Amino acid sequence: MSPTAPANEPAILVDQSKNLFKVARRNFVDPEILAAEKQRIFEHSWLYLGHGSELAKPGDFLTRNVAGRGILFARDGKGEPRALLNTCPHRGMQVCRERKGSAKSFQCFYHGWIFGLDGKLRSQPDAESYNDDFKTLETSNMTPVARFESYRDFYFVSFDRNIVSLSDYLAGAKEYIDLICDQTDAGMNIVPGTQEYSIRANWKLLTENSVDGYHAATTHASYFDYLGKTTDMTLGDVAARPAGYGYDLGNGHAVIEYPAPWGRPVAQWISAWGEKGRAEIDAIYNNLVRRHGEERAKRISKLNRNMFIFPNLVINDIMAVTVRTYYPTAPDYMQISSWSLAPKGESEWLSKYRLHNFLEFLGPGGFATPDDAEALEHCQRGFANFQDVPWNDISKGMNSKRPIHRDELQMRVFWTQWNNQMFPAPASKKSSVAA
């Protein structure tokens, strides 16, 4: 299939009169679609690079792969964060070969060129063999990423110089980032360590799965059974909780916000944490009320949020706060990186439970992630029949004026933005495949 998608081969089908929204399964299997996604989506979006807390002091650095590009994320001598393409301007070698650390400068292993934390060329062997002004040329320095901006200490890059500001791009997602960051007045930080794993499935399946409230009761039945056996909750208690809702945040971003039975270090106590735990949770809650008022304090502490920021960042504020990115390496293979986010200065007791929650449910060996990986891989296998069974249906809730969190508004938001970037409408007429 050509990624230009002729009129008789739409990427999505939408019939508002019948409340139907369907996605072509070839979108998950066609290598030409993936090639077009890399050019039309990943080259023209804001992509998450890292959190400012990962660079605690001047000289700290880490290296990350973002959409196929190696990037050096560093805090220079003045404390200013930098995002540099990790490529020597001389002969193209990776300048920094370490995953993270602290340094005053970077020396290319190949020919010994030395660069400052700001990417400027400081010196090179046999400097007299070059013109006197060689070090003043921009082409002699490491290349900054085209765009580099932050919001609430979340740092993003874009390879599109003409993209809108990060603030405009995030649109309504900023409200939900604020809810997470306002959990504490001390600031948030990434807990040391990265979870890295892979799934043999298309990357877009993880976008859908991460904000899918519909699958939880069946796919993660073992977790809810575990909750019933290890706490004073029952599945009836879970079912009786009021529904949450799904929200379109603009620019392809979406969130589900809902109550849930598990303990939240900020600030939802469960009996398994004991009376000492209740006292600490109550103190956190009272501080939230003091800083934000009763209504916002309840929202911060009692409601859970699963949010994606288009195209491939998920922030789950549930029994722990998880930051997750994922990139495709093939139509049926993706690589995932995940980090735990927590308030700075959290007590040892709370930190223990937060990490336990993170690993127990969201870790690669937890209750949720293996279940999800298995489900997505079997979806991918099922797509082998796409020529005979060509459509996925994500219509749930289209007939609702206010979709609940178990509806599929979130997926429709993603796919509409995906379709708009993959197959933009001609300026003079409507696209035959636009939603």
Tell me the per-residue pLDDT of 261-297, one tens digit each, with 9 for 90 and over. Answer: 788 888 888 888 888 889 999 999 999 999 999 999 9
DSSP 289-306: HHHH-HHHHHHHHHEEEE
Alpha-carbon span 380 to 153, nearest angstrom: 36
pLDDT band at 61 (very low <50, low <70, confident <90, very high): very high
Query: Does residue 339 have a pLDDT over 90?
Result: yes
Whole-number average pLDDT of the chain: 90
Task: Specify the pLDDT at position 350.
Answer: 87
- Residue 297 has phi, psi (to 5 degrees) of -60, -40
Looking at residue 312, its pLDDT comes to 98
Q: What is the DSSP letter of 361?
A: I
pLDDT above 70 as % of the chain: 90
User: E strand or H helix at 351, and its extent?
Assistant: helix 348-357
Q: Stretch 356-360: mean pLDDT, rounded?
A: 77
* Residue 140 per-residue DSSP state: G
Instruction: Give helix then strand counts, H and E, for the chain.
Output: 12, 21
Q: Which H helix or E strand runs over 349? A: helix 348-357
For tokens 């006292």, the residue is: 279
Q: Which residue has the higher pLDDT, 171 or 231?
A: 171
Whether the per-residue pLDDT at 433 is higher than 50: the answer is no
Q: What tokens were used for 319?
A: 């029994």
| pLDDT at residue 429 tops 70 | no
Domains and CATH numbers, the chain: 47-166 (2.102.10.10), 182-421 (3.90.380.10)
Cα distances (Å, whole numbers) of residue 50 to 78, 198, 309, 317: 19, 19, 14, 17
List 418's β-bridge partners, or say none: none
Q: What pTM, to 2 d.p., does this model score?
A: 0.92
Tell me the average pLDDT across 245-269.
91
Q: Which residue has the tokens 């004073």?
A: 232
